[in-house]
Amino acid sequence: MAKTARSSAKRAVTKEVNYIRQCIAEDDMDDIDDHVIVLKDLFKKFTLAHDRYHETLTQETDIDESDNYFSEKQRDYISVLDLVKNTKISFKAKAELKSLSADSNSGDSSSKEYLRLLNLPKVELEVFHGNPLHFHQFIKAFEANVDKVCDDDDLKLSRLMQYTAGPAKEAIRGCQLIGGTGGYAQARSILDSRFGDPHLVTERLIRELKFGKQVKTPQEIRQLSDDIKNAFLVLSQLRTLQEVNSQSVIREIMGRFPNYVQLKWKKRALKSKKSNDSYPTFKEFVEFAAEIAGEVNDPVYGNVFPKRSDRFKREQRTSSESYSVSLSNSNVGATGHSNDKGSRLKRGAYAKSEPPCVLCSQVHRLWHCDQFKQMSPRERLDVVINHKLCHNCLLSSHRTDDCGKRSVCSVPGCGKKHTKYIHLNDNTSNNVQVSNASFYPNKGTHMPLVQVLVNDACKVYALLDSGSSNSFCSRALVRRLGLTGKSYEFQLRTLNKSGPQRSEAVGLSLSSESGETLELSAVYVVDEIPVKSTRIETACYPHLDGLGPMPAYQTDSLMVDLLIGQDNAEALVPLEVRRGKPGEPYAIRTLFGWCVNGQSPTKVPSHNVISNFISALPVRDDVSRLWEIENEGIGPSSWSREDKLVIDLWDRECRKVDGHYELPIPWRDRSEPLPNNFVVAKPRLDNLHKRLLKEGIYDRYNAEIAKLLERGYAEEVPRSELLNQTSSGWSSTVLVSLRESR
């Protein structure tokens, strides 16, 4: 009865909705307000009828179906109300435009100005996807183009929903049901607190400026300069400029510029300290970056650099040694011996000043520095990494991969492209020892692990597993969060086994330090996630330098509580890849940060194997698809000649005896006598008899045989046939299954 009443109320709402849409399509807006009032009254009646019917439901599937039914009708109701509002606004704008056109003809200057504004091209706002760095620009544009020109809060809220996407839209989706001034104010408040917090925006801006990639080309320098200027404007507006007015922050940002730009800034900073007794501010740094970007992008002189002479290029191609170019009194090569050819070159067309030592600031190469020589290999490597020097020649003008020096490490058994001064041994002794140990101190396999914040409560390590069809979490994590999930039975398939599992599924909300979020709707709970990874020294690999903190690779013993599979592929998408030489580990930047894959070079193979090919399918899906795939790929086929002979034989000789059908066995040659194997079958039967007595199941077995005889499924062989051993026949031992499941 309640369901019938709800259906009747729904039909009335649908009829009124269709009539309103028809009026709008026909531009008949005279009685539209009256019909909207009628529609609101009908929808209230439909809501009451739905609530009465909903209270009678007990099955969970029926409740879900009823909720979906109501939500669909509610969306239709809201959409037609929005359509009426937008149509009325459009009619009003057309009327005003017509009035303005008449006023402009009469010479009203204000009307003419307003008319010109209306004739401007339509403004398309950029959609806000939830990045805090873009929030304030988006809000400024939204206020200028929507908030200030519209008085209807419902329309403002609709526009706000239209120009948001991703996490931002999901955060304010419920406000549309509230509507009006309250809904719009609450939506603005949610966006301001979640994406517009000044401290969050400041932290994200500083991180973007500090940990970006090294810039080289004029276009990249221009882009970095623009990023710095935009950050200055935003921080000034947020009144958090003091966060970047630190020389340590400015130095880290300056480290992304080429070396010659860094030297220019160093001179300017020291000059400012000498004259004003203070280093330059961030505002002066912004002006300097813009000045440098203008110089390198100048259309006439931007690409003018010192050119090497043809003689120098020929000598560089034919020489098998590496020469240093210096203006000092003696030119010393990488091997520590004087180089006469380099001395001649310094007097040629291509020469530049010797940069000071990064440790003692004296004019000499790093490998001649006494402080550098007294350090351990680990300390030397730290100096090279911190100052972004080439691992091969210890110069700062290029990366290790681009080094033209052809020498390799002279430590026996190494042969890597780095100088012997930073060669690391396998042992932990501080003494410099030469051995056959590999340069790479970490040996083992690195799994793709990231650290995530779950439900804003605890940080855990997550495995990004592209070989798993589903996502899993440990039971310990569920207990820590105090979650309870819905019970499921699913089929768990791995490389070595497959079987049904019963567990629960929970929903998790993940977020990263950078503010990225991801909702996991169905995460199966398992006892543990057996993942093993090893720590890695990113300093040993130039291509992994500058990735920032990766806590998952700072220890050899960690607990993984989350496995993210292909059902949440957004977390697995590679946003950036850094690879080195063949055989070296590589890094992938994902939604939740950097992770490392691959294996460090090692001479001792590991016998611990982890393979994460996992498939979890609900049992009901397997059963439902069983009938679909049983005959898949099997097409109709015609009978063979032997098939036809067998069918003809059965048609001729089929008979019914004592309620049972008897069919002859289709022998190829029915006249051929069969050997009697009674002599072989009798010992088998005797052995079976002894085994049944020994195991104590003879009585049960005998009872099952009696059931077969009683039900007519078997019959005793006549004694006359048993005594006639010369007749043809085939004897076989009867086997009965005593398992309870059968």
**Domain assignment of residue 412, yes or no:** no
| CA-derived radius of gyration, the chain | 41
Tell me, what's the pLDDT at 212? 81
Number of folded domains that form the chain: 5
- In this structure, the answer to whether residues 92 and 143 fall within a common structural domain is no
Task: Please state, in angstroms and rounded to a whole number, the distance separating the CA atoms of residues 73 and 91.
Answer: 27
If one compares 6 and 351, the residue with the highest pLDDT of the two is 6
User: How far are the Cα atoms of 180, 329, 469, 592 from residue 353, in angstroms, in the given order?
Assistant: 70, 12, 60, 44
Tell me, what's the pLDDT at 322? 39
Domain boundary among 85, 103, 121: 103
Q: Mean pLDDT lowest for which of 36-45, 322-331, 375-384, 589-598?
A: 322-331
- In this structure, the answer to whether residues 161 and 221 fall within a common structural domain is no
Residue 505 CB contacts under 8 Å (≥ 6 apart), including other chains:
485, 486, 488, 522, 523, 524, 525
Question: What's CA 654's distance to the chain center, in Å?
Answer: 67
**SS3 of 427-443:** CCCCCCCCCCCCCCCCC
- In this structure, the answer to whether residues 537 and 457 fall within a common structural domain is yes
DSSP strand pairing (593-600 vs 444-446):
antiparallel
Tell me, what's the pLDDT at 434? 31
Of the pLDDT bands very low, low, confident and very high (cuts 50, 70, 90), residue 69 is confident
Residue 20 confidence (pLDDT) above 70: yes
- β-strand partners of 338: 332
Q: Mean pLDDT lowest for which of 390-394, 428-432, 618-622, 624-628?
A: 428-432
- Per-residue pLDDT reduced to its tens digit, 260-272: 889 989 998 898 8
Residue 509 CB contacts under 8 Å (≥ 6 apart), including other chains:
454, 455, 456, 517, 518, 519, 520
Closest to 22 (Cα-Cα) out of 8, 32, 13, 12: 32
**Domain assignment of residue 402, yes or no:** no
Residue 311 confidence (pLDDT) above 70: no
- In this structure, the answer to whether residues 485 and 561 fall within a common structural domain is yes
Of the pLDDT bands very low, low, confident and very high (cuts 50, 70, 90), residue 563 is very high
If one compares 379 and 341, the residue with the highest pLDDT of the two is 379
Of the pLDDT bands very low, low, confident and very high (cuts 50, 70, 90), residue 462 is very high
- Enclosing H/E stretch for 596: strand 593-600
Question: What's CA 665's distance to the chain center, in Å?
Answer: 63
Residue 87 confidence (pLDDT) above 60: yes
If one compares 676 and 269, the residue with the highest pLDDT of the two is 269
**Domain assignment of residue 492, yes or no:** yes
Domain boundary among 584, 619, 654: 619
Residue 470 confidence (pLDDT) above 60: yes
Tell me, what's the pLDDT at 384? 85
Mean pLDDT of all residues in 97-125: 59
Residue 564 confidence (pLDDT) above 90: yes
Tokens read off for 131: 């990045």
- In this structure, the answer to whether residues 461 and 597 fall within a common structural domain is yes
Chain mean pLDDT for the chain:
76
What 8-state DSSP symbol labels residue 30? S
- In this structure, the answer to whether residues 82 and 145 fall within a common structural domain is no
Q: What is the CATH number of the domain that holds 452?
A: 2.40.70.10
- In this structure, the answer to whether residues 500 and 595 fall within a common structural domain is yes
Top-ranked range on mean pLDDT: pick from 303-317, 354-368, 585-599, 709-723? 585-599
Tell me, what's the pLDDT at 510? 92
Residue 336 confidence (pLDDT) above 70: no
**Domain assignment of residue 493, yes or no:** yes
- In this structure, the answer to whether residues 55 and 138 fall within a common structural domain is no
**Domain assignment of residue 458, yes or no:** yes
Mean pLDDT of all residues in 438-450: 62
User: How far are the Cα atoms of 225, 259, 431 from residue 322, in angstroms, in the given order?
Assistant: 36, 21, 29
**Domain assignment of residue 377, yes or no:** no
Q: Mean pLDDT lowest for which of 357-366, 521-530, 610-619?
A: 610-619
Instruction: Say whether 487 sits in a helix, a strand or coil.
Output: strand
**Domain assignment of residue 741, yes or no:** yes
- Enclosing H/E stretch for 26: none
Top-ranked range on mean pLDDT: pick from 105-114, 295-304, 324-333? 295-304
- Enclosing H/E stretch for 539: none
If one compares 477 and 532, the residue with the highest pLDDT of the two is 477
Top-ranked range on mean pLDDT: pick from 147-151, 628-632, 724-728, 729-733? 147-151
Of the pLDDT bands very low, low, confident and very high (cuts 50, 70, 90), residue 110 is low
- In this structure, the answer to whether residues 74 and 143 fall within a common structural domain is no
Tell me, what's the pLDDT at 736? 61
If one compares 202 and 100, the residue with the highest pLDDT of the two is 202
Of the pLDDT bands very low, low, confident and very high (cuts 50, 70, 90), residue 730 is low
* φ, ψ for residue 270, nearest 5 deg: -65, -35
- In this structure, the answer to whether residues 214 and 174 fall within a common structural domain is no
**Domain assignment of residue 352, yes or no:** no
Tell me, what's the pLDDT at 471? 92
User: How far are the Cα atoms of 317, 375, 443, 540, 690 from residue 430, in angstroms, in the given order?
Assistant: 40, 9, 20, 17, 76
DSSP strand pairing (458-464 vs 560-564):
parallel
Tell me, what's the pLDDT at 454? 92
Question: What's CA 130's distance to the chain center, in Å?
Answer: 17
Of the pLDDT bands very low, low, confident and very high (cuts 50, 70, 90), residue 637 is low
Domain boundary among 255, 270, 296: 296
Residue 188 CB contacts under 8 Å (≥ 6 apart), including other chains:
160
If one compares 735 and 88, the residue with the highest pLDDT of the two is 88
Q: Model pTM?
A: 0.32
Opening angle at CA 618, ends 617 and 623, nearest 5? 105
- In this structure, the answer to whether residues 192 and 204 fall within a common structural domain is no
Read out DSSP for 278-334? S---HHHHHHHHHHHHHHHT-TTTTT--PPPPHHHHHHHHH-SS------SSS-B-T
Percentage of the chain surpassing pLDDT 90?
A: 4
Residue 442 confidence (pLDDT) above 70: no
Of the pLDDT bands very low, low, confident and very high (cuts 50, 70, 90), residue 349 is very low
Instruction: Say whether 461 sits in a helix, a strand or coil.
Output: strand
Percentage of the chain surpassing pLDDT 70?
A: 76
Task: Please state, in angstroms and rounded to a whole number, the distance separating the CA atoms of residues 99 and 661.
Answer: 98
Task: Please state, in angstroms and rounded to a whole number, the distance separating the CA atoms of residues 191 and 147.
Answer: 15
Of the pLDDT bands very low, low, confident and very high (cuts 50, 70, 90), residue 562 is very high
- Residue 59 is part of which domain span? 2-103
Read out DSSP for 396-453? SSS-GGG--------STTT--SS-GGG---SS--SS----S--S----EEE--EEEEE
Tell me, what's the pLDDT at 579? 86
- In this structure, the answer to whether residues 519 and 585 fall within a common structural domain is yes
> Scanning the structure block, which residue is given the tokens 């000071």?
356
- Per-residue pLDDT reduced to its tens digit, 36-63: 888 888 988 888 888 888 888 888 888 8
- Enclosing H/E stretch for 616: strand 615-618
Tell me, what's the pLDDT at 344? 39
